[in-house]
Amino acid sequence: MNYMARLSRVSSHLMTLTGFFHGIPHMRRPLPTEVRTNVVRHRILKCLERAGPHHLTEVSATLAVKKNTLSELLDRMVRDGLVARELSPDDRRVVRLRITPAGKSAIKEFERSLMDNIGQYLKGLDPEDRRDLVTAMEAMVRILERHERTTGAQFPL
């Protein structure tokens, strides 16, 4: 199986890896603000896609993002049509967040763009380094998935 096919099998987890590496304090260059915002937006959308409608506090706890930061970002995501706020059928005072069809499309587009960028980078590597890097990414995804299954926790952004 070629390296892009192998990467596509783990593509939905690449943002988890990005968030994981972004959290390493000794990284030399932080991600640009625009990229960081897109990573957080993607993680929010994936959270809502996976778990269904959530309250702001639940999303904040799941993603380890401060509520005030998340609230501002969600306001923009609602304006952009990626997320909708809806009243809970059980308690009209409770507002839940859910992903919209446009949000699901945004996930696909972001992951497609990510794969294109990674593919361009990998093309510049020699075949042995490319194979080793993809193998390492697959191993990291397995470890992160096992951690999430056993603890229910996600790596913070």
Angular region, 105: left φ>0, alpha ψ -120 to 50, beta rest: alpha
Q: What is the pLDDT of residue 31?
A: 47
| C-alpha dihedral (123, 125, 131, 137), degrees to nearest 10 | -80
| C-alpha dihedral (33, 35, 40, 42), degrees to nearest 10 | 160
Are the C-beta atoms of 157 and 43 separated by less than 8 Å?
A: yes
Which DSSP state fits 92? T
Q: What is the pLDDT of residue 118?
A: 74
DSSP secondary structure letters along 103-131: HHHHHHHHHHHHHHHHHHHHHTS-HHHHH
Question: CB under 8 Å to 81, separation ≥6 — which residues?
Answer: 100, 102, 103
Q: What is the pLDDT of residue 128?
A: 92
pLDDT by residue for the chain (157 residues), tens only, comes to: 676 777 666 666 665 555 545 444 444 444 445 555 677 788 889 888 887 778 888 888 877 778 888 888 899 999 999 999 988 777 777 788 889 999 999 888 888 877 777 777 778 889 898 888 888 888 887 887 787 778 776 554 3
pTM tops 0.95, yes or no? no
Are the C-beta atoms of 15 and 114 separated by less than 8 Å?
A: yes
Q: What is the pLDDT of residue 28?
A: 45
| Residue 133 to residue 90: CA distance in whole angstroms | 49
Q: What is the pLDDT of residue 30?
A: 47
Angular region, 145: left φ>0, alpha ψ -120 to 50, beta rest: alpha
Q: What is the pLDDT of residue 77?
A: 92
